[in-house]
């Protein structure tokens, strides 16, 4: 079988591996679709990000769906041929954070395609994948592409839960990439009354409009438009910061009301923040990291038609064109979510 | 002008009153539509409920919309002829609870059509109504009937906010009257993943289905169906108790998971509750009472098409047929929300 | 070795058992002190409570301390002879509630001295007890009696955490038994500004005064004193209901402010509650059940002198007088916490 | 009468003003004691801080106590000669934030000694002060110096409330100035199990020890001691950042557990923060600004002996030595809280 491997910065290859078989309690998945995440792009382009660096070749990918190919001994409730979304979060279930109900902070997490520990946790962009049965979330009624969106949608749902009650709230999102756009869907599903999105790129903002933003603002064209809007229409209750840019964070904070909440999703480096504004307005800047139980919720909400991610899947390319897919994903002037077809 | 007056139990009349004019900061409303609430029915049938009793004739009604007929001195931002939903909550803005952000607990509340203080607070079922400008929420794009639904929808939104984060949660609603049905809409808007509704009447349950319940259960036909469903599919996170019936409350509590939340909306008398179950499962039984800032949210969510209450308005009758309207509202075999047309 | 066994209602015996030895990861405890809990009394007097009934002889007891007598293979960090408080909560660590951080709702809980499952979970009132190493919380500096108070103190701490922020709050406690009195200590430690306690017995109230209640009210002598106090001095933010009596609950609810919180700790049967009051004041009635991580906190707070439970230990009797100890515990005119000395 | 006036940076004078008299509902206070706050020091040394600059002479001071000298018409419940703590927070009671229960975010706030609006809000370091009756909190049993500590203690209590439940939590405080030290008292009162304080100055840390810190660490002497302590003893639940220094914030964040909470109290300029750490650990950085209802709580807790601020009042100087007092307050090698005696 083949898999997509980052050997080093700018050295991405489709390599051959031996076939695999499921053990007891496990399931063999024939991968259907894998979506390229910003993290995958960082490994591809820079060999990592911040303090996290590739030290050995690593299969990329964690946004995947597939079809059940074979059931290991003792597995029930799944049928061969069934489409499933694959939960990439594999906490140990034994450490103190797992037992506190915080599996995303598991001390022994094995999240697909992550170079944080060494040896690295190999990823899921492979034609065959053996998973535990509980990682398989049936996705009947969805396309394989939609099922592969369960992962980034879970990131948005997790951040939305951490933002607290959104019913009737006014929401600002800085950054209209895939995560920002999925936060529109999550915030709307959670009852947001108004959703405004800013970005520097018209193409990105176009997709925010397609998934329901009430207003999109290109702050490259018009840096002061956000400030004017907030002063005129009212300050926002919640900011999802999805850029990692200090300028976006600061202008977003200025558009928040006292006691406003900032969900920080954009992964940048160190960021300079206007601390007096944070203090005087009693803002609340919260990190959000991955997800866990939101994954099954994400699949369910899509299956029931309560969230529709289809407008965000802009490109789908065969495994043979993996490198082209990664290059396309880099280009914000045309890409939103790029997916690779494994079968 | 005419108004609908409860003189005593089973003594409802359409009486004549002098015309009224707006003072400074006030607005004259030509009433369009008034919806009959369960409270109105209690005054009509029993002259009150619990310790609250009519001691003088009282104009009923608090779910109303109308058109701006005249602007008092200094009023800006409203146009004659404009359809508005009327906020019936009139807190003093000075007492300790108003200053704590709890206007629904205002010590000097003047909520339309309420016999709690004496002299009573006269209601809004009248052809002409003078209100403060801030009570007028523009409802452009809605029908007058929808605008009059802002009030009971606000009750459901307030309870939903007090229930905490619903995103991805499983919700049970006992009682499929207008409030129960509006709680479906509110809970879904807030992100509920699954909504199950129970009632004793098929007609009532039919409307819950129309506004999006995933499953309706007639517990008259099948008293143990709820228990079986919960044991099979999973216990619920949140219960909206909208009947005031101890049987419904107890069976609903049995279907909740540990740490489940019960929003008590049904107004019954004293209720016997299974305290050991509440303690051992660490359930959380919360009262919910009226609303305040949710009113403008309710109008906005309807205007944006994010909540659609139209399927719940089953009857609309002219003021001349007010008595028939009240009698129809009593009959759960046919009624959901009954509205009266004032113009 | 000997143990205190409830064979049936009013049939309590000190029986002989074989000695025990620790396995790998386990610790042999020579029991020092065991406190009699209200639950133990129910088994002794009535053979159970509510739906929970003795179906076979059961060793009682779950409030215990002891000294390390022998370390099983692989146990580190404990020394023979050391005084430890014994955590009686033994969740499975694998079920969904354990993995949600709710071990007190473990589906496979083995809490000492509990007749809920069958075969029953045998209790800890025995001269020798084998425990897992993690159940041993070093209690250096405390008396064995204080260490045995860690269990009921944990109940009070757990309820206090569930009550939310108490800093500067005004607290009412109905019921001045051991749990009520420990709630005084917990609420004060959590920052309560004022603590008022009601009971029907002067002896019980005397101990509330000793552990810091600002005011005690004998509501047998003066049924309306609480109402008068609240009207005069201000309504309470939080009620700890520790009686299980509907009268106490209702009068306590009447003394709460809007949005007040009721922690229900008293285990009665079904209770009739004034639902219109709960709804109109938007009260929040929360069950509280056992504890888990609060146990180590309880020991630590006592060790650091931040909570002093000594005034509540009124009687200490040797194992030979176990029956007398149980009879004394029934008599509220003299008892607060009765403990049995096992060594 | 005399008052302490900042005319510009490094131009502090004791000026003469006309005597004042109370109007209806007002109270004339003969000032007793005024404490020097960090804000006062900024005006004295730099003529302001951040974007806030003196544009006209301004009387300084907002931490004051005094004795009732004369009652205006209609004032009840206060006696001439009585010691009172003076609430310096004067929200309008009418704006949207006042009506949301957020008076510290009042749009028309008149907080004593604040150069934010122009004309500036004159301060309370004056021999005579006319206040509204509701600003007077009786402080019987306290010294005038303690009563003047109600203000900074309120800052610590407000931050503590915003930090959420502290019962049994482990707390880190970076910065052992007056606010840091008062946060020790507030956190302990709220139930913190362990409190560790860091600073660069031994003198400052000495006072943290006096008010109950479990451990003080001089991070000038030993920059890595905090990291080692956390790795060994366990990461902290809550950080009070009281320095405004990015180094302190970053090292404090590193010592927090996942989902830890940071209360930002230190007023620095813009601060660079390690955003990836905040995101990956899902930390929660919350601003805290002033207080309101905590003021009466602060006085009450001191009156009841539940908080003792006396060890923190290190210097008390007569009004004639005002300039010396300010100079002393600058010198962290000897000062903690410096107060000025007005009578």
Per-residue pLDDT of chain B (343 residues; tens, 9 = 90+): 999 999 999 999 999 999 999 999 999 999 999 999 999 999 999 999 888 999 999 999 999 999 999 999 999 999 999 999 999 999 999 999 999 999 999 999 999 999 989 999 999 999 999 999 999 999 999 999 999 999 999 999 999 999 999 999 999 999 999 999 999 999 999 999 999 999 999 999 999 999 999 999 999 988 889 999 999 999 999 999 999 999 999 999 999 999 999 999 977 789 999 999 999 999 999 999 999 999 999 999 999 999 999 999 999 999 999 999 999 999 988 899 999 999 9
Residues of C in contact with B259 (CB under 8 A): 102, 105
| Mean pLDDT on C326-341 | 94
Q: What string of DSSP letters covers D74-136? A: T--S--TT-EEEE------S-SHHHHTT-GGG-TT---SSB-SSSS-B--S-BSEEEEEGGGE
| Mean pLDDT on D202-228 | 95
CB contact under 8 A, B264 and C272: no
pLDDT at A268 over 80: no
How far apart are the C-alpha atoms of B112 and B63, rounded to whole Å?
9
Task: Give residue C182's pLDDT.
Answer: 98
The shortest C-alpha distance from D183 to chain A (Å) reads 16
pLDDT, one tens digit per residue, over C42-77 is: 999 999 988 899 999 999 999 999 999 999 999 999
Task: Give residue C269's pLDDT.
Answer: 83
The shortest C-alpha distance from D246 to chain C (Å) reads 29
The answer to whether the CB of D236 falls within 8 A of the CB of D187 is no
Q: What are phi and psi of B283, to 5 degrees?
A: -75, 165
How far apart are the C-alpha atoms of B281 and C233, rounded to whole Å?
34
The answer to whether the CB of D337 falls within 8 A of the CB of D312 is yes
Is residue A189 within 8 angstroms of chain D, CB to CB?
Answer: no
Sorting pLDDT into bands at 50, 70 and 90, what band is C222? confident
3-state SS assignment for residue A194: strand
Is residue C283 within 8 angstroms of chain B, CB to CB?
Answer: yes
CB contact under 8 A, B281 and C287: yes
Find which of D53, D97, D258 to mutate to test the A interface (most A CBs within 10 Å of its CB). Answer: D258
Contacts of B267 (CB under 8 A, 6+ apart): B38, B49, B50, B244, C275, C276, C279
| Mean pLDDT on A303-317 | 98
The chain C residue lying nearest A292, using CA atoms, is: C100
Contacts of A121 (CB under 8 A, 6+ apart): A58, A110, A111, A112, A113, A114, A115
Exposed e or buried b per residue across C106-123, where buried means at least 16 C-beta atoms within 10 angstroms of its C-beta: beebebbbbbeeeebbbb
The answer to whether the CB of D242 falls within 8 A of the CB of D264 is no
The chain D residue lying nearest B91, using CA atoms, is: D99
How far apart are the C-alpha atoms of C218 and C230, rounded to whole Å?
15
| Mean pLDDT on A289-309 | 97
Q: Which of C125, C106, C128 is nearest to C117 (CA)?
A: C106
Is residue D11 within 8 angstroms of chain B, CB to CB?
Answer: no
Estimate the share of chain A in helix, then strand, then coil, as percent rounded to the nearest 5.
30, 30, 40
How far apart are the C-alpha atoms of B34 and B123, rounded to whole Å?
11
Measure the CA angle with vertex A85, ends A82 and A86; round to 5°: 115
Using CB atoms within 10 Å of the CB of residue A314, give its burial: 0 to 12 exposed, 13 to 18 middle, 19+ buried. Answer: middle
Chains that touch A (3 or more CB pairs under 8 A): B, C, D
pLDDT, one tens digit per residue, over A170-200 is: 999 999 999 999 999 999 999 999 999 999 9
pLDDT, one tens digit per residue, over A210-236 is: 999 999 999 998 888 999 999 999 999
Q: Which among A270, A281, A286 has CB closest to D273?
A: A270
Query: Which pairs count as long-range contacts for A229-232, CB under 8 Å and 24+ apart, including other chains?
Result: A229/A196, A229/A255, A230/A254, A230/A255
Q: Tokens representing D209?
A: 């020890």
The answer to whether the CB of A253 falls within 8 A of the CB of A243 is no
| Mean pLDDT on C277-300 | 97
Other C-beta atoms closer than 10 Å to the C-beta of B219 total 18
How many Å from the N-terminal Cα to the C-terminal Cα in chain C? 12
Tell me if the pTM is above 0.90.
yes
Residues 96-155 of A with CB under 8 A from C: 98-103
Contacts of D256 (CB under 8 A, 6+ apart): D172, D235, D236, D237, D238, D239, D262, D281, D283
Task: Give residue B268's pLDDT.
Answer: 73
Residues of A in contact with B160 (CB under 8 A): 167
Q: Which of A254, A257, A142, A286 is nearest to A194 (CA)?
A: A257
Looking at chain A, the whole-number percentage of residues with pLDDT higher than 90 is: 95
Please state, in angstroms and as integers, the Cα–Cα distance from residue D329 to each residue in D15, D189, D269, D314, D333, following that order.
Answer: 21, 27, 21, 10, 10
| Mean pLDDT on D315-333 | 96
Residues of D in contact with B102 (CB under 8 A): 101
The chain C residue lying nearest A92, using CA atoms, is: C99
How far apart are the C-alpha atoms of A90 and D47, rounded to whole Å?
56
Q: Which among B93, B94, B100 has CB closest to D101?
A: B100
Sorting pLDDT into bands at 50, 70 and 90, what band is C317? very high
Please state, in angstroms and as integers, the Cα–Cα distance from residue B225 to each residue in B245, B258, B278, following that order.
Answer: 18, 20, 21
Sorting pLDDT into bands at 50, 70 and 90, what band is D217? very high
CB contact under 8 A, D102 and B98: no
Is residue B300 within 8 angstroms of chain A, CB to CB?
Answer: yes
Find which of C285, C291, C292 to mutate to test the B interface (most B CBs within 10 Å of its CB). Answer: C285
pLDDT at A98 over 90: yes
Is residue D92 within 8 angstroms of chain B, CB to CB?
Answer: no
Measure the CA angle with vertex D124, ends D120 and D128; round to 5°: 120
Region label for A141, one of left (φ > 0), alpha (ψ between -120 and 50) or beta (otherwise): left
3-state SS assignment for residue A226: helix
Is residue C327 within 8 angstroms of chain B, CB to CB?
Answer: no
Residues of B in contact with A166 (CB under 8 A): 167, 190
Please state, in angstroms and as integers, the Cα–Cα distance from residue B120 to each residue in B28, B40, B109, B110, B269, following that order.
Answer: 21, 14, 11, 9, 22
pLDDT, one tens digit per residue, over C179-191 is: 999 999 999 999 9
State chain D's mean pLDDT as an integer. 96
Q: In what order do the strands lie in the sheet with C58-59?
A: C11-16, C2-8, C58-59
How far apart are the C-alpha atoms of B18 and B2, rounded to whole Å?
9
State chain B's mean pLDDT as an integer. 96
pLDDT, one tens digit per residue, over D277-305 is: 999 999 999 999 999 999 999 999 999 99
CA B68 to chain centre: 23
Task: Give residue D311's pLDDT.
Answer: 98
CB contact under 8 A, D103 and B99: yes
Strand partners, C16: C2
Please state, in angstroms and as integers, the Cα–Cα distance from residue A248 to each residue in A198, A206, A253, B43, following that order.
Answer: 9, 19, 8, 56
Chains that touch D (3 or more CB pairs under 8 A): A, B, C
Estimate the share of chain D in helix, then strand, then coil, as percent rounded to the nearest 5.
30, 30, 40
Element (H, E) at A246: helix A246-254
Strand partners, C172: C196, C239
Using CB atoms within 10 Å of the CB of residue C30, give its burial: 0 to 12 exposed, 13 to 18 middle, 19+ buried. Answer: middle
Task: Give residue C267's pLDDT.
Answer: 75
Residues of C in contact with D157 (CB under 8 A): 167-168
Looking at chain C, the whole-number percentage of residues with pLDDT higher than 70 is: 100
Task: Give residue C113's pLDDT.
Answer: 98
Give the 3-state secondary structure of chain B.
CEEEEEEECCEEEEEECCCCCCCCCEEEEEEEEEECCHHHHHHHHHCEECCEECCCCEECCCEEEEEEEEECCCCCCCCCCCEEEECCCCCCCCCHHHHCCCHHHCCCCCCCCECCCCCCECCCCECEEEEEHHHEEECCCCCHHHHHCHHHHHHHHHHHHHCCCCCCCEEEEECCCHHHHHHHHHHHHCCCCEEEEEECCHHHHHHHHHCCCCEEEECCCCCCHHHHHHHHHCCEEEEEECCCCHHHHHHHHHCEEEEEEEEECCCCCCEEECHHHHHHCCCEEEECCCCCCHHHHHHHHHHCCCCCCHHHEEEEEEHHHHHHHHHHHHCCCCCCEEEEECC
Find which of C102, C276, C288 to mutate to test the B interface (most B CBs within 10 Å of its CB). Answer: C276
Residues of A in contact with D270 (CB under 8 A): 272-275
Looking at chain B, the whole-number percentage of residues with pLDDT higher than 70 is: 100
Sorting pLDDT into bands at 50, 70 and 90, what band is C266? confident
Task: Give residue C28's pLDDT.
Answer: 98
Contacts of A222 (CB under 8 A, 6+ apart): none
CB contact under 8 A, D276 and A267: yes
How far apart are the C-alpha atoms of D180 and D197, rounded to whole Å?
8
Strand partners, D339: D35, D316
Q: Which residue has the tokens 């008034």?
A: B34
The answer to whether the CB of A135 falls within 8 A of the CB of A26 is no
The chain B residue lying nearest D92, using CA atoms, is: B99
Q: Which residue has the tokens 């300039």?
A: D323
Instruction: Name the pairing type of β-strands B2-8 and B11-16.
Output: antiparallel
Contacts of D104 (CB under 8 A, 6+ apart): A282, D89, D91, D158, D289, D290, D291, D292
CA D247 to chain centre: 22
How far apart are the C-alpha atoms of B245 and A181, rounded to whole Å?
44
Q: What string of DSSP letters covers C123-169? A: -S-BSEEEEEGGGEEE-TTS-HHHHHTHHHHHHHHHHHHHT---TT-
Residues of C in contact with A100 (CB under 8 A): 101
Is residue C170 within 8 angstroms of chain D, CB to CB?
Answer: no
CB contact under 8 A, D191 and C190: yes
Give the 3-state secondary structure of B19-31.
CCCCCCCEEEEEE
């Amino acid at each position: 079988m083949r898999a997509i491997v980052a050997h080093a910065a700018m050295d991405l290859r489709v390599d051959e591996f031996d076939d695999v078989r499921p053990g007891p309690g496990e399931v063999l998945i024939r991968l259907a679709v894998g979506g390229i995440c910003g993290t995958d792009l960082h490994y591809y382009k820079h060999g990592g990000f911040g303090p996290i660096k590739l030290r050995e070749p690593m299969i990329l990918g964690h946004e995947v769906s597939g079809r059940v190919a074979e059931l290991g001994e003792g597995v029930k409730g799944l049928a061969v041929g069934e489409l499933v979304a694959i939960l990439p979060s594999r906490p140990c279930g034994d450490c103190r954070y797992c037992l506190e109900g915080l599996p995303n902070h598991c001390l022994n997490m094995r999240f697909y395609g992550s170079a944080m520990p060494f040896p690295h946790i190999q990823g899921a962009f492979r034609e065959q994948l053996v998973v535990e049965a509980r990682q398989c979330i049936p996705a009947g009624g969805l396309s394989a592409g939609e099922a592969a969106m369960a992962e980034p949608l879970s990131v948005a749902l997790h951040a939305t839960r951490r933002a607290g009650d959104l019913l009737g709230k006014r929401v600002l999102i800085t950054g209209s990439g895939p995560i920002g756009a999925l936060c529109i869907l999550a915030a709307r599903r959670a009852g947001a009354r108004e959703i405004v999105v800013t970005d520097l790129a018209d193409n990105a903002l176009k997709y925010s409009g397609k998934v329901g933003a009430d207003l999109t603002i290109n702050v490259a064209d018009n840096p002061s438009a956000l400030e004017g809007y907030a002063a005129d229409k009212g300050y926002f209750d919640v900011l999802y910061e999805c850029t990692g840019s200090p300028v976006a964070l600061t202008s977003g904070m200025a558009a928040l009301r006292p006691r406003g909440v900032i969900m920080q999703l954009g992964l940048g480096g160190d960021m300079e923040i206007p601390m007096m504004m944070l203090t005087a307005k009693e803002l609340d800047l919260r990190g959000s990291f991955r997800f866990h139980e939101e994954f099954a919720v994400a699949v369910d909400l899509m299956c029931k038609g309560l969230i529709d991610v289809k407008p965000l899947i802009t490109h789908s390319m065969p495994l043979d064109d993996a490198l082209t897919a990664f290059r396309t994903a880099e280009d914000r002037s045309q890409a939103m979510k790029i997916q690779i077809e494994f079968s």
